[in-house]
Structures are given as C-alpha cells and as structure tokens.
Copies of this chain bind each other. A is one copy, B any other.
Amino acid sequence: MDLQRIKYFLALAEQLHYWKTAEKVNITQSALTRQIQSLENELGLQLFERNKRNVKLTPAGKFLREKWEVELNELEYIHQFAKQIHLGERGTITIAHPDSISASIMPDILAKITQAFPQLQIKLVQVLYENQLDFLKNYKIDLAITRDITSEQGVKSKKIYHDHLALVVPLEHAFKNFEDLSKESLKAQKFILPTKDEGSSYSEIIQSLFKSYDFVPDVYLHSEFGSTIIALVRKGLGIAILPDSYMHHQSPGLRFIPLPFKTDILINWRADDHNPVLANILKLVFGD
C-alpha cells in the first residue's frame, strides 16, 4: 500500500469530488479514480459510496479517514526525527573526561555543542584512565577526553588542547613561586600524586619533573581523583602536582605555582564510528 494513495484518499474524503480533488493533487481524474479503486481492492472494502453524480464516505471510509490522518502525521514526524538523527542533530553521545578539565575546557566544549545542536543528548561520565580504551571499544563511551596518548588500533586520537602542571600547596606554605623550588626544599616535602600508571604520559611528565631536580619524591599517597588530592592538600597533608586547569575550580586555601611542563589533552574516538553525531561534534571541536 502506497502512502501516496492514502493521501489521495484523504484529499478526496475532504472534497468528495473527483475532478476537483484530482486537480488539487495534480493528477487526472482517471488516475485518481484508479488509485481509489486499487486502494479499495487492496483493503477489501469500500471507501466511498458513489454513483455518477455523488461521492460519499462509507462508515469504513469515515473511520479510515480519521485514523489514517493521525497515522500519516505520526509517520511524517517520525521521518523528520530520523532525518535529524541522520544529520547528527538528534541522538545520544557519551563522553568520558578527566575531572581536571571539568571547570575549564569541558564547559567550553559543552556550550559549543548545545548551542549548535540543542537537541543532542550528552552523557558525561568519568572513567579511570586504565578503562578508557576498553570502554571506547565496547561502546560504553563514544568519546574519551584524556591526557594519555594512545596508538591503539581502531582508535583515532587528536590533540585538542594543552595545559601546564602546577605545584599545589596550602596558602600558608613556604613555597611562593617557582624559584623557591630546589632539590633540597623539595626533598623535605610529602607528595600526593596521581596513581602511577605504566605508559601514562601524564605520569611520565611528573617523573621527568622529579628527574630534572634529580631526586626521588616522598610520595605517601596516590589518588586518581583530583578533587581528593586537592582536599588533602588543603588540609595540610602534603603538596601535589596537578594540571593548572584545577585553578578554574573554586579552591580557596590553595596556591598554584606554575611549572614549565606541558600536558596535552587529547580526544579519542573509534575509527569506525560513523555516527553522524560524533562527526558533528568532532567538526565542532576541531573547527576552531
């Protein structure tokens, strides 16, 4: 059954006149007659009571007119919706991101996305560094924003940003600026650092920082969670090294001392993910 036929039927049901209806829907009266006839045959019922003079809906015709009207509208809406999905204007995307950038880069990115595609559903999740790739490959997340460089097969990666490391100390701490740091002064400190992860570029940068001062830090606590580390530093339990993005969090009682070490922020996604939503978001993130 062709939906066009149903549209012809609806037009005729309104006009109740073959000629006028045919003109209105831009076919000849003969074609309209046959369309209605084949519709009736297909359904095995009569839609119109008609003689050579009058056209009138049968009870079944009246019923179908009402129902089809609704169904056609629904279908049209569905098709529009599907088109939006196709264009990447509708849909859901799950993004993992580190806590550190949740007050700096993430708000920028999210603002861009919601402005350009207000219909998109965005799910934000936090995933341990070690799980990110797994989650990506298993479709638990679609996009991973991370500080780790990956050369995993099937995962594409691109740098979108960078920030610097900073030494985080309580306000009353002796360290005021970068020049206060030395092998000796550092040796006296207790450190709270991120979980040491083999192959994590972020950890490596911190290691190379310590190497540049030629000493091994006294690390008595590891945490993957920046907010935990910050809380501990504020309580005077040690000092930390964190990306300076944390300065954007509201963190009174702390001093950030910038260090000359860059950390990259990358965005990872499945190479074979053809979801138009992803394409749109990547375009948006790389666009400027």
Interface residues of A (CB under 8 A from B): 1-4, 43-46, 49, 58-60, 63-64, 67-68, 71, 74-75, 78-79, 81-83, 85-86, 91, 274-277
Contacts and interface: CB of A to CB of B under 8 A. Distances in A.
The majority secondary structure among interface residues of chain A is: helix
Contacts of A83: 43-45, 60
Contacts of A58: 86, 274
How many copies make up the complex?
Answer: 2
A268 to B, nearest CB: 20
Contacts of A86: 44-46, 58-60
A54 B91 CA distance: 24
A64 to B, nearest CB: 5
Contacts of A82: 43, 45, 60, 63-64, 67
Nearest to A44: B83
Nearest to A77: B67
Interface centre among A49, A58, A91, A277 (most CB of B within 10 A): A58
B64 A78 contact: yes
Contacts of A91: 59
Contacts of A277: 59
A63 B49 contact: no
Contacts of A71: 71, 74-75, 78
A205 to B, nearest CB: 38
B59 A81 contact: no
Contacts of A78: 64, 67-68, 71
A24 to B, nearest CB: 20
A69 to B, nearest CB: 11
Contacts of A1: 2-4
A274 B59 CA distance: 9
Contacts of A274: 49, 58
10 contacts: A1-B3, A43-B82, A44-B86, A49-B274, A58-B274, A63-B81, A67-B78, A67-B81, A71-B74, A71-B78
A94 B274 CA distance: 60
A7 B194 CA distance: 55
Nearest to A87: B45
A277 B138 CA distance: 59
Nearest to A43: B79
